[in-house]
Amino acid sequence: MTESKTIRVLVVDDEELGRDRLQSLLEEQPDVQLVGVCADGQSALDTIERERPDLVFLDVQMPGMDGFEVIESIEPDKLPAVVFVTAHDGHAIRAFEIHALDFLLKPFDQNRFEKALDRARSQLARRAGPIIDQRLVSLLEELREERKYSDRMIVKSGGRVFFVRTDDIDWVEASGNYVRIHTKNEAHLLRESMKNMEAKLDPKIFVRIHRSAIVNIDRIKELEPWFHGEYIVIMRDGTRLTASRVFSDRLSALIA
């Protein structure tokens, strides 16, 4: 008889009762090694990066960074197998069913848990190395299409991950192969092109005023006419930016 492979499992749930329930059920499984128990998305990302679990039981509804954002933050070729854990959420459940992804609907019993774990065992047994789960990739593509304009930016810096809400962005400037995101109290470097950055930001809120600058309309204090149809854009924090003539029609539309 072939000895079963040990499955390295991570539990992520912001509710203590949920974490304890999953932990106790997993500890009864002889082929499971629990590599971590996390209460939030950031801890989950750190643990996934450090421990490289085979399987994650991932709560969907978490404050700050939800389960979807956790998997969106992982490189596709590093995605573990995932069993989503969710309270009654019709939208999420439909998404999981469409993509044939397993989920546990709270509250769940031991029988339902074991069925989900058995499916995960089968999925992992079929893997010959770190094969990308196309079902997860398809779900991510669907989510990105729904979230065409980002609610927040994920910035990785010095081994840390920062979450910047787009509502908090004052302006964005080009900085070589990066963009520098300015908020009220901070600035973050993100490896991104201005073109891609512009595509991620809602044009009802953000306007590109220069090939190297995008501004939040709500943070503009004053437009000062300049030479040859250009403007000086004065931000509420006192920052002065030049709006080039190429992009001035966008500002003229705002004035109109």
Report CA 99 to chain centroid distance, whole Å. 19
What are the pLDDT digits (tens) for 80-124?
A: 999 999 887 776 787 788 777 889 998 899 999 999 999 999 888
Question: Cα dist. 44→13, 50, 255 in Å?
Answer: 9, 10, 46
pTM above 0.75, yes or no: no
Closest CA to 54 of 101, 5, 97: 5
Q: Are residues 65 and 19 in the same domain?
A: yes
The band of 219, judged by pLDDT with boundaries at 50, 70 and 90, is very high
Structure tokens at 63: 């404050």
Residues in the chain: 256
Q: Are residues 211 and 249 in the same domain?
A: yes
In a domain, 1, yes or no: no
Q: Are residues 66 and 91 in the same domain?
A: yes
The whole domain housing 21 covers 7-145
Which residue did the predictor score with more confidence, 115 or 125?
A: 115
Long-range contacts of 18-24 (CB under 8 A, 24+ apart): 18/59, 18/85, 18/106, 22/57, 22/85, 22/113
Overall domain count for the chain: 2
Mean pLDDT taken over the chain: 85
